[in-house]
Structure 1
Amino acid sequence: MSALGHWFIDRLVVEQTHLGDRLPMIGDKGYVTVNLHTGEFDPDKIVASRATIQSSFSTSLRVSCDGHRVRVEGNPSRFGRVENLYGFTSFEECIQVYNIVLAKLGLPPFTTGRFYFTKDFHEDAANRKHKKRYTGAVIRHVDITRNHSVGYQNEWAFLRALATMSMPNGKRPNLYPNGATVDYSTSRSIGGSSWDYSKFYIKHFELIEHEKKNLKDASDEDKAYYRKLVEHCQAAGIVREEHSFKAKKLDRYELCFYGHVTVEDLATHHTLTTLENLTENLEVATMDYVTIADQLLRRKVCNSRQAANATANYCHMWLNGQPLYNEDTGKYPRQYYVHKQRLLQLGLDISMPFDASRTALPMIRHEREITVQPHQMPDWYRKPSTRNFVVIHGRAA
């Protein structure tokens, strides 16, 4: 487990197909396909939309069943709770919450299963391949998240610093206009690609933003607890790190089979770029930019004053907005990559355009150092439970 804190599960989408007798149809509406020539339709092939199953504090899950396939999506760590600063750390706990809801709807629980192989009949006979199948529940989407403490009023500067660093996989940062979120994606659409999505955001800002909705019909005791939690997040400077694993990625790396995957498997997956990867070369601290060459020598990034001065000169070109590539060829010279790797060790990513409003450089004038630490759960925190919610209502078609 990472030294920066424990991971827990946020959003989770699970489905399982049950063969045999038809199950109750669950959903707000049902859809059938009609043959326009004959007017015939198959009543056994009804597609059900998702029903909203609500609990307290404006929380809900979405459940559907078309007679064989059961699907639940939502946030099990948040269901029935006023907040989810901390959530469930295992799939088993999350599935237990989902199974309690399924039982109330008269549906079978999500279970582990066994593997078997089938041939893909969409391909020609010569090229048919055996495909791996699973009789148990399958995970179609999961968000894993954890909390970092960066200190009182340091969250905004910390996110601005992150917004100067591109991911090792080439994804570039996007600092939201409100300055409270940085996300990484190859797509401009919200939620990123169909593969994965990562973001960092200020937790107390998010709690305040959703306070009215979260505290609807809440008791005075719950309201006091919520305000205390917001103040705690502000004092600790909590930044939330969140990574979404989507269906294509889960299928590709066989991380989708319930009972055969853990949160640790996701957290240590080789395609996951975490805060450690981003901040490995990022030091959010004081530094005199006139002495960049001295910094390179002091940290033994360069072995000679000549090499350090050459890299410092490249950095000043970047700061002044000068092009670093060869204008005749439109390509970067070979030495660019040498200087880039050296400057990354000072927390400067010259592959990103310099933006004085977003980069970490201006905040150094305040002469403070930001240290990232795992957040410690306060002893008064209401820990998640698999039985601390009440289903308010759900509609069964």
Structure 2
Amino acid sequence: MATFDVIVVGAGIVGAAIARETARAGLRTAVVEEKVPGSGITAAGMGHLVVMDDSPAQLALSTFSRGLWLQERDKLPASIEFEERGTLWVAADDEEMREVHTKRATYEKAGVASEVLDTKGVAEAEPNLRPGLAGGLRVPQDAVVYPPAAAAHFLSDAQHRGAKLVQGRAVAAGKGEVTLSNGTKVQAERIVLAAGSDISLLPQLPIQKRKGHLLITDRYPGFAHHQLVELGYLKSAHKLTDESVAFNIQPRQTGQMLIGSSRQFGKTDPASEPRILRLMLERAIEYMPKLAALSAIRAWTGFRASTEDKLPLIGPAEAITEDASLWLAAGFEGLGITNAPGAARLLVDQLLGHKSMLDVTPFLPARLAGSPAAKKEAHV
């Protein structure tokens, strides 16, 4: 039976980033993945590297993580398609412009560069936006990547440092052992569950799925220059019930436009829904009327892993389960791509007993140990 120091279950971008960090630290690392690494929830995402300020903890983590991405941008392979395009948060009216100034002040305190644009400035930055928008906030160092290639790069680096990829479906994990569907067992003192929205290995995890749709167009180089997001996105992203859509468009290096976004709770069917796509496109066309003339070539869905307080679970799972061998890196909602490097650092610091650059307390799974999902398992 193969024995390691750490087993990472899941080779999406978070799991791959953790494997790279554990391997860098000299820990014997195994990564268990059933499918092609990076082909699950990672492949379904936009790949927007963005600083988010929905809470002080999320601001700290996303700023830290984006900084790690920027530190290695010159070393990233071309396949990752890293581009420092910047984010333009678009304000439709005076109320949203007040939010722009609040956001700028928050970013300034966190050391994040940003620039307020007025109506004319937004029109000059993005001529295809509709006329008359109130303004916006440009965050120049936000970037975009191609997520599957980024996950593959992290995993390749981990393997180069000695990590082993174990292909197979994990059907059980705990007490220092992972069992695959073919009966193979792999052992380690610590097991990190980084399987996105799949909680089958620890059903009491307080995580919910949020379904999202994306659509990509044919190639239209120069149609948009920044990642464009409406200020209303923040409101829609934080709704815990029903469904919502918001204007969110990303120009890809290929010249294609990646159009989002939608959020739905309680949906488990991965099929694209024409009604949601229509609502999403109608919202996008409100902001960029010329989008109506572009040809869409493909639509797909994915499931974000959401927690009730909108923060990921990074650390030991012992407050949720009595099994001290289980650790968590899950619940990243739509920020797994951005936060993967930072989350990996925080987790490995805990594994090694090192002090982290960030306060890890807001991300510890123990904070949600009393959630309804965790309590349900305790009474079974």
TM-score, normalised by the number of residues in structure 1: 0.23
Determine which structure has the larger helix proportion and give its number: 2
TM-score, normalised by the number of residues in structure 2: 0.24
Determine which structure has the larger strand proportion and give its number: 2
* Rg comparison, structure with higher value: 1
